[in-house]
Amino acid sequence: MSLIFEATRLGALELANRVVMSPMTRDRAGPGDVPNDLMVEYYRQRASAGLIVTEGAQPSRTGKGYWRTPGIHSQEQVDGWARVAEVVHAEGGRIVMQLMHVGRVAVLANRGFDAEVVAPSAIACPDKVPGPDGVPAACADPRALAAEELPALAEEFAQAARNARAAGIDGVELHCASGYLINQFLDRGSNRRADSFGGDGAGRARFPAMVTKALADAIGADRVGVRISPGNPYNAMDASDPAETFAPFLAAIDDLGCAYLHVANMNLPDFDTLAFLRANWSGAIITNNMLTLETAEALLADGAAEAVSFGRPFIANPDLVARFRAGTPLAKPDYTLLYTGEERGYTDYPTIAG
């Protein structure tokens, strides 16, 4: 049997197979950013994955920047996620929640409430983000966080992790990629601070490491994953020196004993991402980005990763694991319905069983 179908363990997480569903924003949450019936069914359909990593959930009101993304800071949101966890577990699956604070990548019209925009430095994101009508809009100007605010912000992440566990979610994944708040602290382009939370790579890694430790202290490091994407310029990140950006961060958190490191491999021509991770990270690795069954199996066989994650294939193939086992061709998603359409393009993709 291929390694991809074998059970494995990542920290406290027991996976029935090594196929991971990667986090994907789908913009379907209900009023109050509460997971609704559609989201419950969407995750239930995909529970045959060894592990589901949810779409990014904001740990606080200031963490929201996109339209209809779910939160994990109110009791109603906790109750909504509890319904998701219940159906995934009933199908035999495991699920962790990605904690995503957008920082400066925020369009105020997407929120539906007043909350300030914060970032490591008062530098606006130059890239645009879709507004409520789907039309790209300018991001708001952020306020630079004061150093004395950062411990309380780390505690917001920790409380979000406790809330996720209270909902029955198996763990959390800290989003440190794609130009959002944690990545903004790591990045020398968006972090221009002159205090101990800025400067060189070690200084810029200080707050991201503080948050990771707060999560580990809150729910146990063996239920905490970390997501990075070295060399990814998304949302105006400086991708010129991935090692300088991420090596100090990995050094600061490696001895915590986190469940896994989840990497979106940009397949850079002059930087071997997976070799870099093996040299700087002693724990389990989940790798992602444009994988096929064949390339994923090769990575597992070579020992480059302990598990492999798939994003877009899971959109149109809720039974992706079964299709891999059967050698069935994969359906293609309707990309016009990624962020709109309610059940269309979301829960209406058929399985091979009909």
- The reply to whether 180 belongs to the active site is yes
- Which residue among 43, 180, 260, 349 is the active-site one? 180
176, exposed or middle or buried, with CB in 10 Å at 0-12, 13-18, 19+?
buried
- Among 142, 145, 108, CA closest to 125: 142
In angstroms, the CA 351 to CA 321 distance is: 11
Are 231 and 266 in contact by the 8 Å Cβ rule? The answer is: yes
State CA 199 to chain mean position distance.
26
- Among 92, 97, 26, CA closest to 57: 97
Length of the chain: 354
Per-residue b/e over 52-70, b at no fewer than 16 CB within 10 Å?
Answer: bbbbbbbbbbbbbbbbbbb
* CA dihedral for 19, 23, 25, 27, sign (positive or negative): positive
In angstroms, the CA 46 to CA 315 distance is: 9
Cα angle at 154 between 150 and 156, to 5 degrees? 115
What are the catalytic residues? 180
